């Protein structure tokens, strides 16, 4: 029987997973999806993903693919897999694609988001979903400095454990840092906030970094976030970001922001 | 040394706790707060709470109190305890109150919130924080029918394991059911949503039930939610809610909504 190539768009909460990639004796996203495929079609196969997210990293539009001999219609895979997946992994879409399509190598660009919760008061429901920075940050300065990253550069200053890849040159198409105004609407934070006497309540407690590039080095978004944090605190400016880029030395950049604020937003295949 | 009575306002994510109340060999909110007090002042003591939330139930403004011989200033307890608490339990406020103040018995009213995620597509980040109902519900009908609950009634139809208490008469001061428009701002749901072809996207996917009363029976809010769900689906109306109230029989009411959508919002002491 001819094999068909199925592309999945996946959203998942990475909190309780040891990342995307299958590892012995660890619960991974790849592992639970492959298990769901086994339960659905009886096929024991490997799936490929656009980005191998680390432990604790989330995804809203991860893309994966696999080749199947099953005659399950492409759009039925979404519902079929749902029945065998845990609640925190959702198949948003399933579709048939060209046999040559490869989730990793066909990707033209990927977009990541990093969420900072910029508030003096802890919010317990965000502990796995945003990085809390209590001091108010200068978001306009962070956005301006981040523009130094746009374009084709050697990003080895922003890579952990360099060299991992043949080249550390990547092209950043777009990067932005913005305050986001609303609290999660379903949470009664406003009510809880009323009881916080004498502590200032910024009107826009979330800071969202968005970055799109043709590829990312290991920990690149988290290191960029840690570097821009120093800008937001007033210690560095765009000149420092440029200096760090040109140094091609990881020690020059800021710290690595924690995994739980990072989201793989989407992947574009052109 | 004279004992002082300290009141704490607590916010917590109930996901990884076996509820508020201390139990042998279980991780409970009361247990971790009492442990933090032990670490702070060396005192091994019991704390009292306004509402003993069940496993998985969250709080935004739980109130507890304890009597201490320590000379730590009341407002310093907040920071001192933070150092010994897990991330998902936050002391929002600490203050000294009259020696007679009792978090349970001094409470005049409590307010609970129940959050329904009313959307056809699963959202993995909400699995512990809202109850997903895929079919679109008639929120105006739910709100109207809920008004039958306002006032002083015998609520035993809405109590699990009746009789637990001396009386099942309670006074509901206010109840509302509303759609809430915004997505959690920090989440890129809109982006993920773009990829959901052919599935309708309600503009206001969250339904929030708010209820304030002088007290609540066991599982009362969750049973009211399960009952109003039948209204939202068009099976029942306000007349049925009145009939259920008057029947004084748990079997007449709807199902018990799951714990993870429930939040103790605040407690009023008059």
Name the catalytic one among A54, A138, A154, A214: A54
pTM of the shown model: 0.84
**CA atoms within a 13 Å half-sphere pointing along the CA-CB vector of B189:** 19
CATH architecture entry for B4-97? 2-Layer Sandwich (3.30)
Q: Indicate the pairing of strand A109-117 with strand A131-132.
A: parallel
Q: Which of helix, strand or coil describes residue B171? A: strand
Q: Which of helix, strand or coil describes residue B116? A: strand
CA distance A159 to A220: 5
Does residue A84 have a pLDDT over 60? yes
CA distance A186 to B178: 11
CATH architecture entry for B110-264? 2-Layer Sandwich (3.30)
Model pLDDT for residues A28-40, shown as the tens digit of each residue: 999 999 999 999 9
Model pLDDT for residues B211-254, shown as the tens digit of each residue: 999 999 999 999 999 999 999 999 999 999 999 999 999 999 99
- Shortest Cα–Cα distance, B149 to chain A (Å): 22
Q: Which of helix, strand or coil describes residue A137? A: coil
Q: To 10 degrees, the CA torsion angle through B98, B29, B27, A55? A: -150
Best mutation site among A186, A197, A210, A269 for testing chain B: the one with the most B CBs within 10 Å? A186
CA distance B90 to B33: 10
CA distance B126 to B202: 17
- DSSP secondary structure code for residue A28 in this structure: -
ipTM of model: 0.74
Cite the residue boundaries of each domain of chain B with CATH code 3.30.70.580.
Answer: 4-97
Q: Would an 8 Å CB–CB cutoff place A93 in contact with chain B?
A: yes
Cite the residue boundaries of each domain of chain B with CATH code 3.30.70.660.
Answer: 110-264
Task: Choose among B139, B179, B149, B172: nearest CA to B240.
Answer: B149
Q: Would an 8 Å CB–CB cutoff place A182 in contact with chain B?
A: yes
Best mutation site among A91, A116, A192 for testing chain B: the one with the most B CBs within 10 Å? A192
- Shortest Cα–Cα distance, B196 to chain A (Å): 6
Query: Quick check: B121 and A13 CB within 8 A?
Result: no
pLDDT band at B14; cut points 50, 70, 90:
very high
Task: Choose among B189, B139, B35, B31: nearest CA to A265.
Answer: B189
Query: Comparing A124-133, A174-183, B90-99, B142-151, which segment has the lowest mean pLDDT?
Result: A174-183
CATH 2.120.10.30 given to domain A109-264: no
């Amino acid at each position: 029987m001819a094999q068909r190539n199925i592309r999945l768009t996946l959203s998942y909460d990475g909190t309780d997973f040891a990342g995307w990639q299958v590892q012995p004796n660890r619960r991974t996203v790849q592992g639970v999806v492959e298990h769901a495929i086994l339960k659905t079609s009886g096929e024991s196969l490997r799936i490929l993903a656009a980005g191998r997210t680390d432990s604790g990293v989330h995804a809203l539009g991860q893309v994966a693919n696999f080749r199947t001999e099953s005659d399950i219609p492409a759009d039925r895979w979404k519902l079929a897999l749902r029945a065998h997946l845990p609640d925190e992994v959702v198949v948003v879409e399933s579709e048939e694609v060209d046999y040559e399509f490869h989730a990793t190598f066909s990707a033209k660009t990927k977009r990541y988001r990093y969420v900072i919760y910029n508030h003096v008061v802890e919010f317990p429901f965000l502990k796995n979903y945003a990085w809390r920075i209590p001091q108010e940050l200068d978001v306009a300065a962070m956005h301006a400095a981040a523009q130094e990253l746009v374009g084709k550069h050697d990003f080895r200053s922003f890579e952990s454990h360099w060299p991992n890849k043949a080249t550390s040159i990547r092209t950043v198409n777009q990067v932005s840092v913005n305050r986001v105004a609303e609290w999660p609407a379903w949470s009664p934070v406003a009510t809880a906030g009323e009881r916080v006497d004498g502590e200032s309540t910024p009107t826009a407690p979330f800071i969202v970094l968005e970055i799109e590039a043709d590829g990312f080095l290991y920990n690149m978004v988290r290191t960029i976030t840690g570097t821009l944090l120093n800008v937001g605190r007033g210690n560095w400016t765009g000149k420092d970001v440029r200096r760090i880029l040109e140094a091609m030395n990881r020690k020059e950049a800021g710290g690595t922001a924690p995994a739980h604020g990072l989201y793989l937003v989407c992947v574009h295949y052109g």
